[in-house]
């Protein structure tokens, strides 16, 4: 049983929002499916860290969710900044059950176990709040992260792993409240998405920062191939 991670699948099978117009994204759905099937087995788990689908409403996610459902493994999904379809966990769970999806799971104020790992996380937010509204959103995300970590602590696992959509650190800047919360709870591995292109490759943190191992897992930065965590 292996654990993989990836972010920013940006699926648009049910909407007219092709990513192929961007450099490096040609035939990305086919490439993602091929690479996924080569690596991931049915008893594996894949965390998808946000920007799952370009759908605007939950009901418009059917084709994108069906695509993910038909791929091997258990999928754990968290929110990205472009997941406008995101709703309450209750509504999303009800939709998943109604549609008969068996392998899709929502990470939102909760946690999951995968072997020795307890998986926690949240969307995250900007590194340095520039407005009162930014501060409110960040505080809300911190609350969700703490709730997720508290749930993870109750699982019979040896180590917690954190997942975000927004990067907790970028270049020489960090989201200190999030980093501090990870350190306080002994979290040593952190995976995130959101960043694309040359700026991401230049400033994204892939390595040890404040004793935490960070890794950028946005699709185009890992060649549309699920990244092996364990």
Count of CB atoms situated within 10 Å of the CB of 24: 14
pLDDT of residue 22: 82
pLDDT of residue 160: 97
pLDDT of residue 42: 97
pLDDT of residue 94: 97
pLDDT of residue 61: 97
User: Domain segments of the chain: what residues?
Assistant: 3-228
pLDDT of residue 208: 97
Q: List phi, psi (to 5°) of 143.
A: -65, -40
> Which segments of the chain have a pLDDT < 70?
none
CA gap 178, 135 in Å, rounded: 13
Q: What is the CA radius of gyration of the chain?
A: 16
pLDDT of residue 119: 98
Dihedral of CA atoms 112, 113, 119, 121 in degrees, nearest 10, equals 10
Task: Tell which CATH classification among 2.60.290.11, 3.40.640.10, 3.40.50.1100, 3.60.21.10 matches the domain 3-228.
Answer: 3.60.21.10
Strands 189-192 and 212-216: parallel
Q: Kindly tell me the burial class for residue 114, based on how many C-beta atoms sit within 10 Å of its own C-beta (0-12, 13-18, 19 or more).
A: buried
**Residue with the two structure tokens 């200190």:** 176
CA gap 145, 162 in Å, rounded: 9
Question: Which tokens hold the place of 177?
Answer: 């409240």
pLDDT of residue 50: 96
CA gap 70, 60 in Å, rounded: 17
Question: Which tokens hold the place of 207?
Answer: 């390595």
What's the sign of the alpha-carbon dihedral 13, 97, 47, 133? Answer: positive
């Amino acid at each position: 049983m292996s654990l993989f991670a990836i972010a920013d699948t940006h699926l648009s099978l049910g909407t007219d929002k092709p990513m192929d117009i961007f450099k490096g994204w040609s035939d990305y759905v086919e490439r993602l499916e091929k690479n996924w099937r080569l690596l991931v087995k049915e008893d594996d788990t894949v965390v998808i860290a946000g920007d799952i689908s370009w759908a605007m409403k939950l009901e418009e996610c059917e084709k994108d969710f069906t695509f993910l459902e038909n791929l091997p493994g258990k999928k754990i999904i968290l929110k990205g900044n472009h997941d406008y379809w995101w709703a309450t966990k209750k509504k999303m769970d009800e939709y998943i059950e109604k549609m008969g999806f068996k392998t899709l799971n929502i990470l939102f104020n909760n946690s999951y176990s995968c072997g020795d790992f307890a998986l926690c996380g949240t969307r995250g937010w900007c590194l340095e709040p520039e407005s009162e509204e930014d501060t409110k959103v960040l505080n809300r995300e911190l609350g969700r992260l703490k709730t997720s970590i508290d749930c993870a602590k109750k699982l019979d696992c040896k180590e917690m792993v954190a997942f975000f959509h927004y990067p907790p650190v970028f270049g020489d800047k960090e989201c200190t409240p999030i980093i501090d919360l990870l350190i306080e709870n002994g979290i040593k591995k952190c995976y995130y998405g959101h960043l694309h292109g040359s700026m991401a490759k230049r400033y994204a943190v892939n390595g040890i920062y404040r004793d935490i191992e960070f890794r950028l897992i946005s699709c185009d930065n890992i060649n549309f191939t699920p990244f092996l965590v364990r």
